Amino acid sequence: MKIVFLGTGAAVPAKNRNPTSIAIKFNGETFLFDCGEGTQRQMIYTDVSPMKIDNIFITHLHGDHILGIPGLLQSMGFNGRKTPINIYGPPETEGIINSMLNMGYHSINFQVNVYEIPIEKPYCILESESYKIYSYPMEHSIPTLGYVFKEKKKPQLDIKRAIELGINVGPDLKKLKEGRSVILKDGREIHPEDVLLPPKRGISIGYSGDTLPLKDFGKFLKSLDCNILIHEATFDSSKKENAFETMHSTIEDAVNIGAIAKVEELILTHISARYEDNMEIYLNEVINHSGEKNLNITIAEDLMEFPLKKVNKNNKNKK
Ligand SMILES: [Zn+2]
Ligand SMILES: [Zn+2]
């Protein structure tokens, strides 16, 4: 279980940074967030397999977040993919994907399902037994969505308590774990809440996409008990005005949102190509903020892998 940063650059490719794309590998599934140009080539250097991707989440329709999609889909077709793929994005995503499917000659013989997500409010857009994925409306020059990947943990059995209550280990415990009450031989009724401990804190990852800093996004992440925030920080704080004009965030903005969200890990991405030859000012600012507000700050690098086990290990339930 890990996050793989396939592209961490902004707007145009740089020598060391591909345009944006992030993969989350979770329990055998791979979720792709944004797919900038060259994403499929970046995958070659990682263990992210295009064939294992069933869901792609697009934050917005700027080229640096979507131009890798046609190539990726065509390669999937070339490799004989038959399983459908789901693509989620803001309004107008369907038209864009359709035009991508009309590009050139190819053998895409699998279903491409496109889901346009309204941008008025947050939604839970995908749910399985083990996770939920939410969208959140962000503020950029065009309609943009942030996303949250949240692991669902099952409540734990308090075995000691169950034995004290005289419950038979086996079918009764299974029923209780599934949330059903049981009646013991002596007539006592035991409810799930009598023997279940609250679920352990799971992994929860927020991703901002391109955006101005949004305090409400931070609050939303806090309400979902997020532990990791991947936030764009296109500029260092001396370029505050550029950030505001282009509707992007600075390092300081990202730190502030991370603090509101009360995450432990803040990962900065979507870094401007202007820092390509001289990262010093950016790096110094990050060092200055380090440890502030209980945040571990990491600057994302292309092909960087962030293990989720590390977060699980430090996962004490927050008060
Ligand atoms: Zn961008
Ligand atoms: Zn953008």
Report which bound ligand comes closest to the CA of 35: 1
Distance 186 CA to ligand 1 centre (A): 65
Distance 141 CA to ligand 2 centre (A): 7
Report which bound ligand comes closest to the CA of 62: 2
Separation between Cα atoms, residue 122 and residue 120, nearest integer Å: 7
Burial class (CB in 10 A: 0-12, 13-18, 19+), 80: exposed
Separation between Cα atoms, residue 216 and residue 145, nearest integer Å: 13
Distance 189 CA to ligand 2 centre (A): 57
Q: Of 64, 210, 236, 253, which is the active-site residue?
A: 64
Query: How far from 247 is each of 60, 190, 195, CA to CA, in Å?
Result: 13, 55, 50
CATH homologous superfamily for the domain 2-153+199-310: Ribonuclease Z/Hydroxyacylglutathione hydrolase-like (3.60.15.10)
Distance 145 CA to ligand 2 centre (A): 11
Distance 213 CA to ligand 1 centre (A): 14
3-state DSSP assignment of residue 228: strand
Per this entry, what is the length of the chain? 319
Can you name the residues that pair with 114 across neighbouring β-strands?
87
* pLDDT attached to residue 92: 98
Query: How far from 170 is each of 156, 173, 175, 182, 252, CA to CA, in Å?
Result: 15, 5, 9, 12, 53
Per-residue burial over 193-230, b = 16 or more CB atoms within 10 Å of its CB, e = otherwise? ebbbeeeebbbbbbbbbbbbbbeebbebbbebebbbbb
pLDDT digits (tens, 9 = 90+) for 238-275: 999 999 999 999 999 999 999 999 999 999 999 999 99
Report which bound ligand comes closest to the CA of 8: 1
Give the residue extent of every domain in the chain: 2-153+199-310, 156-196
φ and ψ of 304, to 5 deg: -70, 140
pTM recorded for the entire structure: 0.91
* pLDDT attached to residue 318: 45
Which two three-digit tokens encode residue 287?
A: 């060092």
Report which bound ligand comes closest to the CA of 272: 1
Query: How far from 125 is each of 151, 220, 230, 234, CA to CA, in Å?
Result: 14, 15, 19, 27
186 catalytic? Reply is no
3-state DSSP assignment of residue 124: strand
Considering just the CA atoms, what is the radius of gyration of the chain in Å? 22
* Positions in the chain whose pLDDT score sits under 50: 317-319
Distance 248 CA to ligand 2 centre (A): 8
Residues with CB under 5 A from ligand 2 (ion): 62, 210
DSSP code at position 167: P
* pLDDT attached to residue 315: 54
Separation between Cα atoms, residue 264 and residue 232, nearest integer Å: 16
3-state DSSP assignment of residue 29: strand
* pLDDT attached to residue 167: 85
* pLDDT attached to residue 313: 56
Distance 150 CA to ligand 1 centre (A): 24
